Structure 1
Amino acid sequence: MKLDVTRRSREAMRAYLAEALDGCYEGEPTISPIEGGRAAAERQLSNFDVRRYASRNHVTRGHVSRMSPYIRHGVMTLREVRDAVFARFGRVGESIYKFVFELAWHQFWQEVYAGLGDEIYADIEDYKFPPPVWQETLPDDVARAETGLVCMDEALRELYATGYLHNHARMWFAAYLIHHRRVHWSVGERLFFAHLLDGNPPPNALSWQWVASTFSSKPYYFNRQNIEKYTDGTWCRQCTAACPFDQTYDALAGQLFGNA
């Protein structure tokens, strides 16, 4: 099948890719709502109001740039994004500082990768807790987004459907997979890299290591209160499962990490 370049609808693209990639996927073929190309990147950047960036940690209504896929694939550079924000909003202000700080993290990951190369795919440091015997494969219920935990399943379904996942939800899922399910971080790293449109080796691998504590001073974990706060309780109200996160941080630390 040859793509009719005069028909630029996303439905035409979906049908073309569905046929071209037949046998390479399961289920109903979908196409991400994220549009590619320079024009789409410029539109996305023009819609970003850095003054609202203080809400960035909220999963369901936080204002984030969503520029990472365009930066990842070289459609725009970090410098271009930074300079565009400076030109519109100036250089002073807490939200501007926080956003530029996040751009700096992108550069930091690349510098680490330049120094370590493929060593980012192995534990960089020792764990900061007694590590369990890790599972080396993704559990079937997790892969199918059928754990029964709405927060985890909905996050993974969004990842599968769109190629995007809010950073806070990425951290929750990573902490769940590593610390609650005892799955080695590299398994989750490969899962995210396979589906994220902004999947980039250094920030992806090193962020998973940060959650695991092999590239940080302590493991990252969360409780139900944290999920409720940053989702307005949307997922929790839908969930009927016994919640493994409904504990204090001290209780969770004892359960997950012992006396470490």
Structure 2
Amino acid sequence: MKLDTTRRSREAMRTYLAAALDGCYIGEPTISPIEGGRTAAERQLAAFDARRYASRNHVTRGHVSRLSPYIRHGVLTLREVRDAIFARFGRSGESIYKFVFELAWHQFWQEVYAALGDGIYADIEDYKFSPPAWAMTLPEDVARAETGLVCMDETLRELYTTGYLHNHARMWFAAYLIHHRKVHWSVGERLFFAHLLDGNPPPNALSWQWVASTFASKPYYFNRQNIEKYTDGVWCRKCTADCPFNRTYDELADMLFER
């Protein structure tokens, strides 16, 4: 009965928001499957087994916390999450260390934001390659999730319908948009911020700059082998496009970056 009540309340929420936001969206109105509130946050924290976090980089079967929306909106604090993990699993082990290290990154982004303010929305460093004439608008095929590349289109559809993306998928899409489509990182930053439930100004903007190389020692890019490895090839098997990522890293560097 409780589950049925929850379903009815979420359907009522969808109907209400669809009417209240009429004209602000296109397509069929949906609400994210991610539930908000303290109860849902505590449930998600209790379900997270930090000992399995070593598998986090795998998009389709990696064990990630999915706590970022609750941390972003202050439902859970970084200290609270850290202490809960230590209490359940102790302080030793590679997976525990890596997860707490990720919590520290959240704090680092906030410290950078405190120092730079809105400076995070401008190039912090020079590019580590000769930059092209950047496009400053989102290409229409990208906006519609119709690039023809299954990996990119399914990533975008997940973003639009759930408000969440695995971190590896975020990196792949950012690299595609910046380096392959030559779209300025700020365009992608705004796209993510508009849709991500965990969209937070400093980690969002600075992560896009990290991919672009204006907040890193080199640009981030990837090849098809990397996608296949961390998705078990599920996207690649469905894709019939002429894959722009099906090259070695040296070949990609020569293709993407003017030295």
TM-score by length of 1: 0.96
The runs of 4+ residues in structure 1 deviating greater than 2 Å are 5-8
Residue 47 of structure 1 aligns with an amino acid whose one-letter code is: A
- The answer to whether 1:163 aligns with 2:178 is no
2:118 match: 118
Q: How far does residue 12 in structure 1 lie from its aligned partner after superposition?
A: 1.1
1:234 match: 234
1:188 match: 188
2:199 match: 199
1:103 match: 103
2:177 match: 177
Q: In structure 1, the residue corresponding to 2:244 is in which secondary structure?
A: coil
Worse overlay, 224-233 or 17-26: 17-26
1:130 match: 130
- The answer to whether 1:92 aligns with 2:92 is yes
Worse overlay, 207-216 or 249-258: 249-258
2:72 match: 72
2:222 match: 222
What CA distance in whole angstroms lies between the structure 2 residues aligned with 1:130 and 1:124? 16
2:209 match: 209
Residue 240 of structure 1 aligns with an amino acid whose one-letter code is: T
Worse overlay, 19-28 or 95-104: 19-28
What CA distance in whole angstroms lies between the structure 1 residues aligned with 2:163 and 2:24? 16
Q: 1:94-147: CA deviations, max 9, x gaps? A: 000000000000000000000000000000000000000000000000000000
What CA distance in whole angstroms lies between the structure 1 residues aligned with 2:194 and 2:187? 11
Gaps of 5+ in 1: none
Q: In structure 1, the residue corresponding to 2:236 is in which secondary structure?
A: helix
Q: 1:125-184: CA deviations, max 9, x gaps? A: 000000000000000000000000000000000000000000000000000000000000
What CA distance in whole angstroms lies between the structure 2 residues aligned with 1:175 and 1:197? 21
What CA distance in whole angstroms lies between the structure 1 residues aligned with 2:9 and 2:94? 40
Residue 18 of structure 2 aligns with an amino acid whose one-letter code is: A
Report percent identity of matched pairs. Answer: 87
- The answer to whether 1:146 aligns with 2:110 is no
What CA distance in whole angstroms lies between the structure 2 residues aligned with 1:72 and 1:200? 6
What CA distance in whole angstroms lies between the structure 2 residues aligned with 1:19 and 1:114? 38
What CA distance in whole angstroms lies between the structure 1 residues aligned with 2:132 and 2:7? 54
Residue 54 of structure 2 aligns with an amino acid whose one-letter code is: A
Taking only aligned residues, the RMSD between alpha carbons, in angstroms, comes to 1.3
Q: How far does residue 6 in structure 1 lie from its aligned partner after superposition?
A: 10
What CA distance in whole angstroms lies between the structure 1 residues aligned with 2:55 and 2:234? 17
Q: How far does residue 8 in structure 1 lie from its aligned partner after superposition?
A: 6.2
2:256 match: 256
